[in-house]
Amino acid sequence: MASSKWKLHQFYNKHNEVRKYLPDTALFSLDTLKQFMDKYSEVYIKPDTRHGGNGVTYVRKTETGYSYTRIKGRAAEVTSGITALEEIYKKVIKTAIDKTYIIQQAISLAAINNRPFDIRSMLMRKPYRKWGFYGFFAKVAGPVNIITNVGRSGGSVITLEEALRRSLQLTPAAIKEKMKELRELSFIIANRFNKYKASTTQIGIDFAVDLSGNIWIIEVNFDLPNHSGNAFAKLPDKSNYLKIRKMKRYLAALRLKRKAAVYIVKRAGKK
């Protein structure tokens, strides 16, 4: 199943407990671009089935019109002084790397030294079993700071506790409460995901915290074997990284075992 941001948004938008954490999102078109820029001063335009930040466009209102920033690899193409939204629409279509795009309300992310961050929550499980929580980390944007993808933006990985303390100056008690809310929400999202694709064994949820400390769900990633695990290795405490590596090895061995069983059955059928 293709990992469609739009389909997942629609799926979670039907869930009462999850809906309130979702940013306003729609399929991208000239009409929705105009509607969103009437409602918000900043928006993101994202490829529907691509991940990692490539092809993401950030549009904001300026005194003279609009500013357009598009991510291509690790570079950012910036065009300021655009006066018509039709120009932006044509730019997105001309440089499209996906058949479908979504447009999304931009969240004013909490930041560390003027660099925004988001949060990765990692859950894993054995096939069709209960979800287990494997930890958090915060992704701090680098110089290309319209995205927080560490590889593309040249950013860094730090603990969630440090990110909440340095960005919002939260007390230890407030940090503990925020992390509890994020963990509980992670399980709600993962358990709900069972109705989307029951066979999934790995989920990486991208959360954001805004300047007021409110939590937002940015993206739900799934079925990506190397997703997140290596980032945990960059944290001072390697325990979550070691747990993830152990589970990945188990899942990889299980996949090989299943492939071997299918091969044997096919060979037997040919005799």
Buried b (16+ CB within 10 A) or exposed e, 199-222: ebbbbbbbbbbeeeeeebbbbbbb
pLDDT recorded at residue 155: 77
Here the contacts of 167-170 (C-beta below 8 Å, separation 24 or greater) are 167/110, 167/111, 167/112, 167/117, 167/209, 168/110, 168/209, 168/211, 168/213, 170/213
Query: Can you list the domains of the chain with their CATH numbers?
Result: 24-105 (3.30.1490), 111-260 (3.30.470)
What number is the average pLDDT over the span 201-223? 94
For the stretch 146-182, pLDDT in tens is: 555 555 556 789 999 999 999 999 999 999 999 999 9
What number is the average pLDDT over the span 113-132? 95
Integer Cα distance of 147 and 152 in angstroms: 8
Q: Specify the higher pLDDT residue, 225 or 232.
A: 232
For the stretch 84-112, pLDDT in tens is: 999 999 999 999 999 999 999 999 999 99
Q: Name which of 4-8, 48-52, 123-127, 165-169 the model is least confident about.
A: 48-52
Integer Cα distance of 234 and 205 in angstroms: 18
pLDDT recorded at residue 11: 97
Integer Cα distance of 86 and 33 in angstroms: 9
- Report how far Cα 239 is from the mean position of its chain's Cα atoms: 23
Task: Kindly tell me if the per-residue pLDDT of 255 is higher than 70.
Answer: yes
Q: Which of 193, 196, 202, 175 is nearest to 121 (CA)?
A: 202
Sign of CA dihedral 158, 164, 166, 172: negative
pTM comes to 0.89
Task: Kindly tell me if the per-residue pLDDT of 56 is higher than 60.
Answer: yes
Number of neighbouring beta carbons within 10 Å of residue 94: 7
Structure token pair of residue 81: 């002084």
